[in-house]
Structure 1
Amino acid sequence: MAPSAMTRWTKSLSEAQPVPYWFEDPGKPHPEPALTGAETCDLLVVGGGYSGLWTALIAKERDPGRDVVLLEGREVGWAASGRNGGFCAASLTHGLANGLARWPGEIHQLEELGARNLDEIEKAVARYSLDCEFERTGEIDVATEPYQARELRDWHQELEKQGLADGIEYLDADAVRAQVNSPTFVGGLWDRRGVAMINPAKLAWGLKRACLQLGVRVYEHTPALDLKTYGAGMAVRTPYGSVRARKVALGTNIFPSLLKRVRSYTVPVYDYALMTEPLTTEQLASVGWQGRQGLGDSANQFHYFRLSADNRILWGGYDAIYPYGGRMRAEYDDRPETYAKLAEHFFTCFPQLEGLRFTHAWGGAIDTCSRFSAFFGTGHHGRVAYAAGYTGLGVGSTRFGADVMLDLLDGEDTERTRLEMVRKKPLPFPPEPFAWTGIALTKWSLARADAHSGRRNLWLRAMDRLGLGFDS
């Protein structure tokens, strides 16, 4: 970025607070007390993000008499569940392209299960009065280059041929700009029903409240330190106590799993976002966006953006930062060089909004696996279940993962547990320095493809053949 452009765009960041916008809410609940002493239960859930919260809630819905305890190392929703963009997608496979490439024989069933899962989330929002700003607006995948528009049109035709285009509409340049006005948009694909917008922190807080109402005992600021067999069940040690449980569900996602053999399957990738001040009536009119859809562009290094309930624009994505060795540190949550890049891209997309200020800028780690969609399994002879590797689409699919974990723990043969997606795992990541080198080369290759009309080089094509990459 030239110095003059940097000064021009970075002025918009002068008052941005390096904290997630979603957390600055007067309605944020107080944390539950930490566990002190010994507890026993039927089911112990480790992790207070969406994965753990949905598991605890559904466990009580399935069997109100089941005694459930949930442990959270810090506060419910503080990590990825409260930091994301608030896109709650029906897809269980990180998009149709990824699902069709990996599980072509199951894709119709996976799509049906995903749609049903999103419907169940919408019902839970109503049933428990979850004040999470749920809006089922859909999402538009926008093209900003002519080749991307051609690819979207061809993809829509392929979806029609496969019988997967229900509710999905191709938009030409005029049609997409009639929805959201950006001079960079030259086409789009609108999924009208498959995505909802939510306030991610409020969803986590609402799920916590619902769990408490159903009798789940929630302990915050209580990290689980280790997991061991104890008689016919399991025991987990915490800083001030312990829990003995018949069964354990692990919803720790990017944090090191209590099952060490699972750790090599995920790596942390840091993602970043900006939030603007509220748009004025005139600014909002200049953009249009009356349908309030979520948006994402079609590049490999893509942006995602949406309107909040108070008409701010969240703008995130593009940079995906993997720290060498998979280290996770609080200082990685703040990255000014990425914020400056995102600000430049924002005003390129919406030049009519020049002068708008960003009020918040933040980042966080995403649990990423090599197939870019969740994987599942058990340990300790079926007494422990886990789900991880959601790769950025966990807002909705973690509820499906909760159902899978409970099916596995209950020993049930269901349409979920019979899925190849559930029965088979992705390839693990290699040790360093090979993991860092491979990820860096992949990121470089994706940027190069974006700069050369989407053409994938030999490295990306080899990764595609191995099932280790986003499909074009």
Structure 2
Amino acid sequence: MSHDTTVADAAVEALRGAAPTAYWTDRVEAPGARASLDGTIEVDLVVIGGGFTGLWAAWQATERDPSRSVVLLEAEHIAHGATGRNGGFVAASLTHGLTHGEAIWPTQVAALQKEGDRNLADLVSAIEGAGIDCDLRRAGKTTLAIEPWQVDGLRDAQALGEKYGVPLELLSRDEVRADVHSPTYLGGLRDRTGTVLVDPAKLAWGMAAELERRGVRIFEASAATGLARRGAGLRVSTEHGGVDARDVVIATAAYPAPLKRLGNYIMPLYDHVLMTEPLSEAQRASIGWADGQGLTDAGNQFHYYRPTADGRILFGGWDAVYYFGGKVDASLEQRDSSHELLARHFFETFPQLAGLRFANRWAGPIDSTTRFTAAYGTALGGRVAYAVGHTGLGVGASRFSADVALDLLAGEPTSRLRYDIVRKRPFPIPPEPFRNPIIQFTRHSILAADADQGRRNLWLRTLDRFGLGFNS
């Protein structure tokens, strides 16, 4: 039997019995369901979407004006979407990394980096100030080279960090393997300040509880089914009621929004994740990882992984799957081929953990855009503001986006509104039937580039030239 067959069989066995649910939200400490909206109410601000962008929008609105009445509408339950399905990496970057930021916004990336650093510091301060227990750790992140061509990329990234005052430590193969014991590592780039780790569901639940203490009303199972002018304000309709409001923030991520134009910018990409059972003391010792930092590969197709407070390992990424028509449905959250591939990669990374089993397997749609960063704008005479499309770095950027949306509603210029990342929207995504073949060809090209020393074909180079792409 070949080594590949042995690893593949071990991956399938390790997945046997794994719960088809997101670990973060499928726990006994999950809060009970909140009531849905029944009837019509009137408020100053209604926020549509109970993920991080919506939660931060309500949070920042109460910070700016504690007397403002705010309602938050969530179609499912708090932390249902990407907010409760991600890896819990909270990054300072607002530009999907410095390399991407310099390529797209070369004259503004320095200011955007400082803006992101400030946003992360303020986010941590807000969480700690409110006493939210979400296992927040200032552990940072290490980016790993697992192919020889990626080592040069780490050197380039360190040099770019030095240019913009971001301290990054280049690690040799021996140094990175001494830190985290994997035979696949060829080098590393340690960032100790630009990322914190959280339990994302606990953070969302804690934020929601704090918002209710501030007087924000949260309604679950209350999808916004309509949005229209009503007198001097707006009416947001739900199945069993409605909200009359002066202003609206739309923060629906990859899920359907009452503003149809957002579909021009969002391509829902399904990201897949595994969570192991708790490691034994001997298993933990076998992998090192004393700092417990987040880890990610340096390739175009990459993994992200991190330990949890209860001794498990979350392992996700690699596949970013688009379904024709931008379909978003619970039936797409289990994909054997993607989960088995992840499990195989896990045991290739940590062969010493052979026999460890996975407790949970899940997937969820990421609201990706053609430039990897959010789309912002207004509608209905400036009474509606939206912030959607955070791709894979939304846990931290969502707070910045919430402030942008509130700035847009206020109609007053702020430092945030001067950036092109806010002023200019991503390039629209072609409609079907053109969208699917373009995305699939791009995905094939990315896989081919990783298999060919990172060499990007003409199609990818053309996309790079115009700041376009495909990523989770």
Which band: TM-score by shorter chain?
over 0.9
Residue matched to 2:224 = 224
Q: Deviations over 1:388-415 (max 9, x none)?
A: 1100211111011000011111112111
Counterpart of 1:184 in structure 2 is 184
Indicate if the aligned counterparts of 1:464 and 1:470 stay in contact, CA closer than 8 A: no
Equivalence for 1:150: 152
Output aligned runs, 1:265-344, within 5 Å: 265-344=265-344
CA–CA distance in 1 between the matches of 2:5 and 2:296? 28
Q: CA deviation at 1:239?
A: 1.0
Letter in 2 for 1:228: A
Matched residue type, 1:101: A
Q: Please give the alpha-carbon distance, in whole angstroms, between the structure 2 residues aligned to 1:100 and 1:6.
A: 40
| 1:43-54 equivalences in 2 (<5 Å) | 43-54=45-56
Partner residue of 1:20 out of 8, 19, 22: 22
In structure 2, distance between residues paired with 1:282 and 1:69: 49
Aligned to 1:42: 44
Contact 1:39/1:244 (8 A) holds in 2: yes
Letter in 1 for 2:210: A
Query: What corresponds to 1:101 in structure 2?
Result: 103
CA-CA distance at 1:165 after TM superposition: 4.3
Structure 2 counterpart of 1:110: 112
Matched, 1:452 2:452: yes
How much does 1:335 deviate?
Answer: 0.8
Q: How far off its partner does 1:299 sit?
A: 1.2
Return closer, same or farther for 1:117/1:421 CA change in 2, 3 Å cut-off. Answer: same
2:414 match: secondary structure: coil
Question: Where does structure 1 lack aligned partners over 5 or more consecutive residues?
Answer: none
Cα deviation for residue 32 of structure 1 reads 1.6
| In 1: Cα distance, 2:365 partner to 2:183 partner | 32
Indicate the SS of the match to 1:60. helix
Unaligned runs of 5+ in 2: none
Aligned 1:66-465 pairs, distance under 5 A: 66-160=68-162, 162=163, 164-465=164-465
TM-score of the aligned structures, taking structure 2 as reference length: 0.97
Query: Aligned partners of 1:274 and 1:9: how far apart in 2?
Result: 11
In structure 2, what is the Cα distance between the partners aligned to 1:169 and 1:232? Answer: 56
Distance in 2 (CA, whole Å) between partners of 1:186 and 1:346 is 17
Any conservation in 2 of the 1:98–1:470 contact (CA below 8 Å)? no
Shift of 1:169: 1.2
The structure-2 alpha-carbon separation of the partners of 1:282 and 1:17, relative to structure 1 and needing over 3 Å to count, comes to same
Work out the CA distance in 2 between the residues paired with 1:424 and 1:273.
32
Following the alignment from structure 1 to structure 2, what is the Cα–Cα distance between the partners of residues 441 and 56? 39
Aligned position for 1:55: 57
C-alpha deviations, 1:343-378, integer Å up to 9, x for none?
110011111111111111100000011000112101
Query: How far has the Cα of 1:120 moved from its partner?
Result: 1.2
* Offset from partner CA, 1:267-294 (integer Å, 9 cap, x none): 1100001111111111111111111110
Counterpart of 2:382, as a letter, is G
**CA RMSD of the aligned region, Å?**
1.3
Contact 2:136 2:199 in 1 (8 A): yes
Q: How big is the shift at 1:194?
A: 0.6
AA matched with 1:385:
A
* Preserved contact between residue 29 and residue 205 of structure 1 (Cα < 8 Å): yes
CA–CA distance in 2 between the matches of 1:330 and 1:59? Answer: 32
Percent identity between the two aligned chains: 49
Rounded to whole Å, the distance in 1 between the matches of 2:397 and 2:10 is 40
